[in-house]
Each structure stands twice: as C-alpha cells, then as structure tokens.
A = this chain, B = another copy of it.
Amino acid sequence: MTDGTLCQSDLGRLVVRCPDQAGIIAAVSGFLFEHGANIVHSDQHSTDPTGGRFFLRIEFALANLEAKLPALRRHFAEVAAIYRMDARFSATPERRRVAIFVSREDHCLIELLWRHGAGEIPAELVCVIGNHPELAGVVSPWSIPFHHVPIDPATKARAEARQEELLAAYRVELVVLARYMQVLSPQFVAAWHGRAINIHHSFLPAFAGARPFHQASVRGVKLIGATAHYVTGELDAGPIIDQDVHRVDHRHDVADLRRISRQIERTVLARAVTWHLEDRVLIDGNRTIVFS
C-alpha cells in the first residue's frame, strides 16, 4: 500500500471472463500495479487450463477510485481486447438496485429486510412487489415502497407488464424471488437472465416441482434442503448458487418440514443474494463459480 490509511471508498472490484491462456494474471496484475492499485484479494478459476474458460475476481485498493474509474475502464479495454475478456470494474461501495418479489410467505422477505438493515446486504432495496397484499405491513417499517400487483390467469400478461414497468421505473438491477409463487413468462426470464434469483424449497435436483415437502415425506429422506438458483426457462433447473440442508427424522410431518425448511430457505437465499451483489457468483453455462 501507499501512504496513509485505506478508505472503504477506495476499494474496487474487477471481474473478468475469457478463454484461458498463459499470461492473463500477469497482464491484469501488471495493469493494476501500473495504475497504482494494490490487489487486496484475488480468486480465479479455469475450467480447463488447456482451452477452457477462465474466470477472475480481484478486489483492489486505489486512492480516489471513483474519480479514476472511467479512465481505468478505458485503459483496460486494451488488455481486454488482447485476451478477449469480458471485464467489469466496479467500486465496492456502489449499491446495486434490488427488487424483491413476494407472495404470502414472509420469512425470506424479513430475513432480507433485516440483513439489509444490518448492513449485511450491499444493495439498495428499492421496492417490494407482491401478488398478494398481505406483506405490505411487514415492509412498511423499513421505509421501502410495497406494490401490490395482483395476478390471475386472465390478467397475467398485463400484470407482468406492470412489474416490468415498476422494475424500469426503479432502475432495478437484480430481482429476488423471495418465495414468489408465480411462474414467470419466458420473455421475463430471458430479459432477466443472470439477474433474477429464486429460492426453491428443496435440495435440487431432488423434489423439483410442486409440493416438495410431501415428496420428501413420502420418500422418507433424512435431510431436507433448499436451493437458491438463477431463474431460467426450465423450472427449478437454473444454475445453483447455494444449497443447504437440515436433518429431519420420522417424527417430522409435512408441517414440520415446512417449518424447518423456512429456516434453511431464508439463510440460503440471503447468502446467495449477498454473494451475487459482491460479484462472487459467475455463471458458467448451467453451473456457477462462487468465489468465497
């Protein structure tokens, strides 16, 4: 580091994807050094050192980062071109704009609101959209607008148009489906590819689809789980970001599984959202790379 102490506002991130080849790290770290940035943390992954895809995430410190970001991006374009990189610089203090979609269950929503309030989710929660009005009261103490957009089969397309309108108005960058019980249209899913995270109440791929607790109870599994994943066209089949499980036994009926699952769901979803917002999650086909 240079002289003096480090401000939070001087921290930045660089995320890179490109075909793997020798010299990438030397080129990137050389560039950062020349521009006065000190690498604080670095993660990388290659799907195959011979001809695979390469992923890189660097946290760096650079005094007056915000002022220097435009030039940094401009100068880096040269490096990016050589290595055919898809690269993105950001300032760590930047807060991406997040909307939460809900239906009637409150546990994931409350977890996100609390963690956000506690400073653990680096985002701006700009709105909550519910297809039922019930959760407005949960949101109100947090001074975040709640929009009720009711959905029924006849009005589904119109409702989705209204959702899109809200997302545009709020300049939303990430949609979190916090136990949102509606299937999104293929158009919506395509538009939000890699920017919509869902929580599924089973340990996918087991018990995909409806009524996972009944399925789990019938099969007599000894662990139940939850899965946070990016939303894709195929239901419950998108790239998995995080999963966790909890031990159950013969005494747990379907209601118990539901109660236990709520604890897993809210933890897993909150972690997945946080990691996404910290640029730790990189999509690689139908899988994710999650840099810890």
Which residues from chain A sit less than 8 Å from chain B, CB to CB? 1-2, 4-6, 20-23, 25-26, 29-30, 32-33, 36-42, 44-46, 49-51, 61, 106-107, 110, 114, 118, 120, 137, 140-141, 203-207, 218-223, 225, 239-245, 249-251, 259, 262-263, 267, 284, 286-290, 292
Contact = CB atoms under 8 A, between A and B. Distances in A.
Contacts of A38: 22, 49
Contacts of A250: 45, 284, 287-290
B44 A42 contact: yes
Contacts of A23: 33
Given A203-B223, A221-B243, A1 B26 contact: no
Given A6-B50, A41-B251, A110-B110, 15 more contacts: A25-B33, A39-B44, A40-B46, A45-B250, A45-B251, A107-B118, A110-B114, A120-B259, A203-B203, A206-B206, A219-B240, A220-B286, A220-B287, A221-B243, A245-B245
A123 B205 CA distance: 37
Copies in the complex: 4
A49 to B, nearest CB: 4
Contact of A26 (B26, B114, B243): B26
A85 B32 CA distance: 21
B4 A50 contact: yes
Contacts of A206: 203-206
Contact of A25 (B29, B140, B219): B29
Contacts of A262: 118
Contacts of A267: 263
B22 A249 contact: no
A205 B223 contact: no
Nearest to A117: B106
A259 B271 CA distance: 13
A149 to B, nearest CB: 23
Contacts of A110: 110, 114
Closest 5 CB pairs of A and B: A220-B287, A26-B33, A26-B29, A206-B206, A1-B50
B243 A220 contact: no
A245 to B, nearest CB: 6
Contacts of A26: 26, 29-30, 32-33
A267 to B, nearest CB: 8
A219 B239 CA distance: 8
Contacts of A46: 40
Contacts of A220: 239-240, 286-288
B287 A49 contact: no
A247 to B, nearest CB: 9
